[in-house]
Each structure stands twice: as C-alpha cells, then as structure tokens.
Amino acid sequence: MNATVQDLPPAVDPAGWTPGNLASSSDWVHALSEAETGKLLALGEGDSRLAGDGALYKLMEATAAALRSGTGFRIIRGVPVERLGAEGSERVFLALGRHIGTPMVQPGGVRVGHVRVGRRPAGTRPGARWRKGYGFLGARQMPFHADLEDAIGFLCIRPAAEGGLRRIASAVTVWNVMREECPDLLRTLTRPFHMALTFPHPEHGCRWTRLPFLSVRDGTFNACAYRLHIRQAQRMPDVPKLSAGQDEALEAFNDIADRVSIPVELGPGDLEYFNNHVILHSRTRFRDEQPGRHLLRIWLSIPGFRTVHEEHPINLRTAG
C-alpha cells in the first residue's frame, strides 16, 4: 500500500456505487403500480395503515432496506399529488416516512416542511436569513451536502420553471476517489470541523460541535457533509476561520462528488429518500415563476441505523 494512505483505509459499503453501477440496475427507482397508487389515495383520505401484506407495505420495506444496507437512496415516481391535493399529499408523505423512521421537528415546529423560495417557515422569527432566501429557501446552486438526521425525504409537488436539477452522489465513492487522487486533502477532511448546532439538536454548553467531515471508524463509513452548518459556525465569534487547506479539501470533495454523481429530474409526484450518512445531494440554480417550485421535506430518525461519532448532533439530541 502507498505509504501516504496507510492511515486512510478504503471505504467498503453497499452504498459505494458509481454511475456505471446504477446504469446496469433499476432497483433504485420504482414506478408506482395501480394497486400502490390506490392505497396512497386511501392514505390521503385518512387511512394511515400500511397493510402488512400489501404492495405499498412491501415497497416501503424495500425502501427502508435500501437506505439501511443498499444503495443508500430510493426514488419513487408517480405519487398522485394533484388528486391528493395539498393536505392529502402531506398526509401521505408523513405516513410513508413513519414507516421508515420517526419524523423529526423542523424549523417552524412542523414534521413536514415546505421548501419554497423565500417562504419563511411558519412559526419562525423574521430575519435576514429568511428574507434572503437562505439555503434551501433560495434559488442559488447548492454544493453537495447532507442533512443532520439519519435520513431525509423529498416529495415534489411542483418543479421549478427552469433549472433546479438534482444530483446525487455516493460519499463512499468520493472517499475512495480522494484516497487515490488526493490523500492529503482527504486526510484534512478526516479531522474535526466546527459545525453549528441547530434546532432540534440541543446545545451542549456551546452553539457548535466538532466532527470529522468524513471518517471510517471500526470499518463503518460516515459522512458528516454538513456544509451549511460549517458555514453557520464560521459566523460565530468563538469559532476559528477555515484554513486554506480546509477550503481546498472541501472544494476537492465537491468537485469529485460532481464527477461521480448522477442527475435526477424531479417532476410532480416524484419522491426521494437519502441515507444522510452515505449519500450526498445537490441542486443547480433555478428560475422560478408563480406559483413556484414546491417540495415537501421530512427528516427521519432511525434507531440503530448507523453508529455515529459521540459528538454527532443525533447523539446530542438523545442525551438532551
């Protein structure tokens, strides 16, 4: 083994796919059958049960398995959002998410968030963060990243008028490519970064925690690719500024993620789930027109899902 990577073991994980791997399989995308669509319409009317022997139950069991020990993501196409309407779509999305994990509270105190340009979540205080369309509320391009919970789901109600292409990449594959091409930069990412603590994760004496951006510990791969939380922490007076080496490593990470990613077009009724510990997602800049791009979002906590760092906000939430 090259002496420069002796301390950087290869990452071995079922989610370590490449675009070529996915091209030879369609297991990661599922088009809803007539029976499954019928059950979704019943869920939208208030029937919150997923029968144990039904097609929809089996679909969600397979989706949960893919997140836990497969590709790390799943796309489901054909949720009848127009027939379900706003309330029915939200009810269905929540019911499906509950079959995978526990829906966590998001900004505004909701279990299902609405991702729309400039729409400040209900219940949050007005401020520059929301007025400027900060992060997921804006139309700018977003780098490859993950969210803090075990898994995240999005249901597309309405896409952007133009742009807004989703790209998905395996963080496992990014690790292995960086290990071969730029091990020094990868090593930088294995060292702790300051990351802001945000609701619903409790503070533990300060407003930030320190986590390795990427790690392999006891054979388990974990990505803490929380780019937004790193940026938030940089505005805190007690957090040191990122070094030139850290900036370079983060840029290399994003560039390689783009190289090994796949594009995913989201249309009305398309549903996607990601394992945040292994899967990265990004979004290109988009142009919006009224009534505007609209996604539903859910954060899911899954007990026993994957061992994480003791300072990970999931553990902090449990302790809190």
Report DSSP letters for 64-81, one per residue. Answer: HHHHHHSSSEEEEE---H
For 267-303, how does the pLDDT look when each residue is reduced to its tens digit (9 = 90+)?
Answer: 999 999 999 999 999 988 777 777 788 899 999 999 8
Residue-wise burial string across 78-117, b where 16 or more C-beta atoms lie within 10 A, e elsewhere: bbbbeebeeebbbbbbbbbbbebbebbebbeebbbbbbbe
Which three-class secondary structure state does DSSP give residue 139?
coil
pLDDT computed for residue 48 by the predictor: 63
> Which segments of 16-174 are extended strands (E)?
29-31, 73-77, 102-103, 113-115, 142-145, 151-158, 162-163, 166-170
Q: What pLDDT is stored for residue 162 in this prediction?
A: 60
Query: What distance in Å separates the CA atoms of residue 52 and residue 178, rounded to the nearest whole number?
Result: 43
The pLDDT of residue 293 is: 84
Would residue 218 be called left, alpha or beta, if left means φ above 0 and alpha means ψ between -120 and 50 degrees? left
Give the pLDDT confidence score for residue 53 in this predicted structure: 62
- The pLDDT score that the predictor gives to residue 198 is 82
- Residues in the chain predicted with pLDDT less than 50, given as ranges, are 1, 3, 123, 125-134
- Contact, 278 vs 15, CB < 8 A? yes
Q: How many CB atoms lie within 10 A of CB 35?
A: 11
Specify the amino acid at residue 231.
R
Q: What is the pLDDT of residue 118?
A: 65
The pLDDT assigned to 16 comes to 97
Model pLDDT, residue 133 = 44
Which letter, b or e, does each residue of 24-33 get, where b requires 16 or more Cβ atoms within 10 Å of its Cβ?
eeeebebebe
CATH topology classification for 29-319: Double-stranded beta-helix (3.60.130)
Between CA 119 and CA 117 the distance in angstroms is 6
**Domain ranges (residues) in the chain:** 29-319
The residue whose two tokens read 């505004």 is 108
Q: What is the DSSP track for 284-296?
A: --EE--TT--EEE
> How high is the pLDDT of residue 51?
64
Q: Which pLDDT value is given to residue 165?
A: 84
How confident is the prediction for the chain on average, in pLDDT?
89
Is the pTM for the entire model greater than 0.85? yes
